[in-house]
Each structure stands twice: as C-alpha cells, then as structure tokens.
A and B are shown apart, each in its own frame.
Chain A
Amino acid sequence: MKSCRADIGTGGRSDRSFGLRLLDLAESVRAGLFPARFSVWTPYLYLLPATLITGILAIGLAEMAETSLHVLNRATFRPDPAYTLANYAAVLSKPVYLRIMLKTGFAALLVTGFTLLLAFPYAYFLVRTPHARLRRFLLVALFLPFLLGQVIRAYGWLIVLGKQGLLNAALAAIGLGPVSLIYTYGGVVLGLVQYMLPFAVLLLAPALTAIPHEVELASHGLGATPWRTFRHIVLPLARPGLVAAGVVVFTLTVTDFAMPEIMGGGANDFIANAIYDAFFQLSDAGMGAALGIVLTLFASLIVALAFLLVGVATLGHGAQQDAGAGR
C-alpha cells in the first residue's frame, strides 16, 4: 500500500515536473522571441489585432476617397481619369442630398431618443427584478425579435400595419377608419426603434448592474422620493451605459439601409439608400463614394461631438464602478 502510494506520488511528481519542464521550455521560447526588455511593448501587442482590422478599413476608405474624386464618363461608363471635386460639389449643392442628410440625421436623433426612453426602464427591470422567471421572460422577449433580423422584422411591420393588417382590422372592429402607417417617415422611425431596442438594453444592462442596489436603498432610507433617487443617483451612475447605447443606436440608424428601403415606400430614403442608388441605379461609383465619405464624416462628427460633450472617460466609468462594487 505504502509502495503503491509512493508510486502514485512519484508518478504525480513526475507528471508535474514534466509539465513544469514544458512550461520552462515555453517560457524560454517566449523569452527568446520576446525578451523581457521588450515587455514595455506588451500592451501595444494586445492592440495589434484591432489596429490591423481598423487599418484594413482605412485602406478601403482611402480607396473610396480616391474613387470619389472621379466623375462618370457617360460615353464609356467608366470613371474619368481626371481628379476633381465635382462629386462633392454635387453632393453639397443638390437639394435632394441635403434633404436626405437632414432626414437621416433627424431620424437618427428621434430613434436614439425614443429607443433610450424605452430601453432604460426595460433594462432597469431586467437587472433589478428579484423574480428569475420575469427576468427570463424579459430576456426572451428581448432576444426573440433580435434573432429575426432586420428584413424579416420590417416585413412583419408591413403585415401588422398594412391596409389589411392586424392594426387596421382591430380599428375596423371598433368602427374606426383605416390608418396608413407604413410607407411613411414615422413608419421608418417606428421600425428602427423596435430594431434598436435590444442593442440599447444590452448596452444599458451592464451599466445598471454596476450600480449597487444599496445606494438606491440608502437614498430611499434618507427620505428621497423614487424620482429624486432616479434623477440624482441612478441616472448619473448609468451615464456610461446611456452614452454607449446612444452612440451605437445613433450610428446604426444613420447608416441604416433596409428599414427605409422596406418601410419608407421609396420616398423616405436615408443616405445609405442614396449611396446604393448612386452605385447600382446610376452606375456612378464616384458619386456613391463621395456620398459614402460624407456619411462617414457626418457620423464620425456626431460621435466625436457626443464624446466631447460627455467625455470619453465616461465609458470607463462602468469599469471603475465594477471594481468598486467588487471591493
């Protein structure tokens, strides 16, 4: 028995030492490839994959910028070799493009506002409810439409809100006339709000989870009304989530194609639809590229403004909260 244990013990030591030797070997290989004096570069190595991906995008963007500097020769349907800013001049001078940009920007603001208004209470109940079943229900209700995809959901809206859809059937049952909600600007905004809701809830939930419930209880204990607690405790502490959700919803809306295409009835285009038309309907890659560059600049400018107003550091606030809660 003793010898058996000794055998086992010896075998275990042998396995461990083999494992350690492997680790030593790996460590020496690592040290050979990446000596300790280079360790100052380690954080930058972690950034490498993201930098590479962004770099590839930047190359594509540079290519698009180059394309945007050529007008279409309608005799050969090839880009004219001469460099010109004519496409940008057309984008900025033609009223149709300005109108489309304004429509897109305003819709993005509306969608962001409505989505945050709806997502905040949803996320709050999701993380605060003590009932596991309710939380599961809220999660399923959130993810079910999320899994359907944008095009399917847009067609779902057409069925629900169409002339012979569920809504009009219900209105007819109570003696009210049919209403026309699809193929309108409002219809596009409605479809987008529903599409963006899961994104916003998912971004808000971690920020709300990071707010210790005890803080709210303490506020309540000190005599604050629920509104004051929400206004002075929950809302400021949820700011990182609100900013992240707002930026994501805004940028996804401003670049959206499918919802205005399907729900807009052709007269409520966003910039992405104008880009599509330029590339595919007009065969004018230069104009499409110029619109693409303008859209990129427009979206980047808005996001930069948002960060300027609330501060980039806000997004790191949640992590500090997490660490604080952990301690």
Chain B
Amino acid sequence: MVRGVRIKDHWQEQRLFERRAIVAGVVIGLMTLALLVRLFILQVVRYDYYLELSQGNRVRIEPVPAARGMIFDRNGNLLATNQPAYQLELVREEVPDLEDTLARLVEIGLLEEDDLDEVRRTIRSRREFESVPIRLRLSEDDIARFAVRRFEFPGVDIRTRLARFYPNGELAAHALGYVGAISEQDLQRIDRAAYAGTTLIGKLGVESAYERELHGTNGFREVLVNAHGRPVEKQGALTPELRTKAPVAGQDLLLTLDLRVQRVAEEALGDRRGAVVAIDPRNGDVVALVSRPGFDPNLFGRGLTRAEFNALQNDPNRPLFNRALRGTYPSGSTIKPALALAGLVHGVVNPDAHRFCPGVYRLPGSSLAFREGRSGRHGPVDMRDAIARSCDVYFYDLAHQLEVDRISSFLAPLGFGSETGIDIGGERPGLLPSREWKRRAFKRREDQIWFPGETVNFGIGQGYFLVTPIQLAHYTAILANRGVAYRPRLVRALRDPVTGEVRQLAPQKSTEIKNVTPEQWQVVTEGMIGALRGRGTAAATAGRNMTYTIAGKTGTAQVFTVKRTESLDNQKTVPEHLRDHSWFIAFAPVEEPRIAVAVLVENGGFGSTGAAPIARKVMDTWLLEAAPDGDTPPPSFDGSASPLVTRVERE
C-alpha cells in the first residue's frame, strides 16, 4: 500500500463508528448521571432550603386600615362619620400613554391642569401595578361624564373607598377640624408602622387632638402574590397558611358640643367674622365653639384641588383661621369685672362709694385726657353702675390706683396670658402685659419703661392686653362659678364601637380663686346683672324679655388706634375692617349658672349691638329649649353615665 493513498475500508469504519457510538453512549450516561446528581442535590439535599425560599417568595403582608371613630354631639347627633366616596384611580402599567391619558382627563374636566404635577408625583411614587388615586371626590356628574367615555381610558377606573363625611358641613368645622392626606410633618409625630394603610389623618380640632383614639389599630392580612407583587387567587397544595389580623376600629367620640346651640350661634353670626364660645361652668364642657367664616371639612376629607385650597388659604376673611382659639383681640370693657374684683381684693375702692364721671379722665399731674367711649358722661356712679353702664372714667381711675403689676397678677389666675388648656389644643395665650413683660419685650431702653397712661388704658382692656375668645369664655365661667373653673373640653367620653362601652372623661378643675370674698363676687355679679337691665349697656339688646337672670358685660375693642382725645365716633368714617370689634360676655342663670358665653364680632362696632344679641340667642337655646330627646341633663360632675349615653349606645 502506497503511503498517502488510503482506501476506504468499510468494515473498519463500521467498527470505528460502533466504538465511537459505545463511547458516546457511556459519555451520555455519565452526563445524565451528572444531571441526576445535580437534581438530587437540589431536590433532596437542599429541599428544605428551597422550599422555604419558595414560601417566602409568595406571601405579602397587606395592611387593613381601621375604620376611623365617629364623632357625636352631646345629644347623640352625628358630627363625623365614614362614607364611601368615589374616586378616579389609575394603574400605570395598564395605561398605554400616561401623558396623553392625563391630558385627555384634563380635557373632559376630571383633572385640573394645576394638579398634574402632583398627580405625576403620586403615580411615580407607587408601583406600576398599584391602583393610584388621581382624583378624589367625584361628583355624580363626574362619574357620569367618565362612565360614558370609560372605554377611551384603559387603566383608569372609578373606585370607592371610605372617606370622612361631616353631615353638617361647615357647622362646627373649627371645633371638629378635618382629615387630610398624611404630610411629612405628620409622619414625624406618628408611628409609621401603625399608619401603614392609613391615608388620612386628623389635621385640626378634635380630629387632630384625638387622632390616637379615633385612628384605631390597623390590621393586616397576608396575601398570596406573584412575582410582580400582584395578589393572586390561585393557590397550590403547599400554600402556606395565610394569617390575618382584623383591624380594631377607632373609638367614637362623644362631644360636649350641643349641635342646636352651635347652629344657633353660627346662624346668629351669619356672614360676620367672629367667634362664639359657650362653656358649661359646672364642668368646662364647651357647648358651642364657633369661628366664622368656616369651611366645609368634607372638602379636605375627600381631597381638595390645589385651586380650592389656595382659595381657602388666600381668602381675606381667613376661613381656616380659628378665631375662637387663636384670634387675639383687645378685651375691651369685658375685663372691667375683673378690674373691679382686683380693686375690691386690694381694697383700693369702696364699691358703694359714688364717683363722679365727667366724661373725661386726667392723670394727676398730666395733661393727657382719657375720654369716655360713647356715652359721654355718666355722672355719679358706684361700682355696680360703673360695670353696668361701662363707665370708662371709673375704671381709668381704678386701674391707676391698682397699678399695672397688681392688675396683671390678679388677671393671671383668671386665665389671661396663658392657654385655657382646652383639650383640642391649638390655642394662643394672648398677652398679659406687666412691667416685667415690657422690659423683656422691647429692645430700646426708652420703650422698656411702663408709662402710667398705659395702666389707665389697661383699665378698659385696651393697649397691649390681648385675649382670645376662649379665654374670655373661660374667664366668664370663673365669674359665674365664683372662682372655680374647669379645663374647657370638647370631648367628654369615648365609646368603644364594638362593645358600646362608654368611658367618661372626668372634668378637670383648673382654677380655684380663694382670695375673693362672696360679698365681693356679689358686687361684681350685680354690676353685670345691671348691664342687662335699666340703663345697662346691653339692656336693650341681650337684656330684653329675659325669663331668667343674666349677668353680662359688653366690650368694644379698638382696632384702629385713635387718640383718646379724639372723637371715638368712628363708625361711619373708618373703613369696615378698621371698625371696633364687638364683645359680649355673659353667664346665666345667675342663681345657678349653666352657661358662660363669650361672643366676638370682628369690626362689629359696639358690644351691645354687635355681640350681645348673639349671646342671648345662645343662652336661650341652651337654657330654654328642651334637648331633642326630652330634657336631658348634661352629665354630672362625677362622670357617671347620663341618659344621653345610653341613648347613643342604643343607636
């Protein structure tokens, strides 16, 4: 055989192929064995490990928000509840073109151009498959408008969820507050874990102060999810047991507010700016807490567009501002009863001695003239007349004799210059001036000196002295109770929504003034009764046709500073917003006071015409009109369950 020329040997080639095939068969067997070993390791040796991994993959914990507690007035009228609301929701991954979809939603009026940035941010912050609310608070009209074009909006749909509902709208809005989306600030004061699943939080008033009680405890449920985190129904044989924990609904709040009184007060104020605070002096129960103008808290609970919020925020009448707790005003003459008490306690004045009021007061050794308000001159007046007829000259002199620091230290226990401690918080302390205060408050040395003329002004509640309506109501309650007062409160009981068990909150005594004798109280009270009788300042308004005894005091707080030497008859010449604020405080019935009221009407002119009639209506409603369910006495001091509570329970 010549080298290089190979002849095909079929028999040998067949043998070669067979050998190769056998080797290949062995190799294939070995490789299969390797696979089986690998599978054995996965499925037998490490079975437990992988089983656990596969279980952990599949269960997601989903929070179940608790139903927020409901709020009732003292007679069991519903003030706040939860109601299904319709909202527009969007699932990102089902929307073909997000920008186009949003633009078209704007076109048909379901979204507003201004809110788009906010909407985009919300969508981005959630996962692709999550249903994101893009428009809350759909009206019937909106729903109808969307329903007919639904097919044009894949991935967008209408969903229902529980929203806060205030059946009485604006009524008592400032007392109740509202709920809104949880803000960054809110996040800092709450336990985030406890709020997982909660979308709304109390923002003001009772809703905010009792957030903890109202919120309840969120539950959770474990859901089977697929790899995209989407819940699935499908379950295999090895499905882990899914745990659930039911949420515990928040507690219901039983308020001290009386819806009837509240409504009367709000209607009496009408369109005027102002505040009404009515307190039951026997326990501090706030029967009415009004600040006008108000707002509709439902807007917040169901979502507010930016435009709507801006409108509220920028309204010159400041509807979001709670005047009752945060508005600080000169007290005007309403402070005179306290001045009188101070004079009596310090023995600088004889209540029965008549002093002559010439209509103008001059400090000894000074040419400064302090003039009377409206009434010109009162002639000879004793202390009772001076209170009843609001004689400025009498109190100019009394203040001058008392000196500023004795006035301040007497007023402090009456609650001035500090918060009353009302349970919903948010109060301003006002301002109680003193020599010490002035030294600290002013930078320039010449300003730090307290001038005698400032004390004189203090005597009629002008100058630096600032009070809030709640402070004046609290002070009136102290006058009514002759030295004893309770911390004002809006919530008197909590009720477990499941068991119906009611936990009464005991009234807290906050004031006890002991250095005033009964006779001294009597003098001042008589002066205040006089204000509603005969020649008293409010006799013609609040004092008309009384069927019970009222003790009251008018007040006129200056906004526009006019020199006391000038004419004070500014009601026609100055613009409305610079006119005097009108005050009236009163308690009744004098023999056994059950209500103490403070009314403020901003720029309402004289106290007797602006504020006094409102106070009278409030007192009439509380004292004369039977509670809707028979004459239901308010809860007694010891906190035992009243018939009212049982009535609420039955509902």
Q: Do A and B come from one complex?
A: no
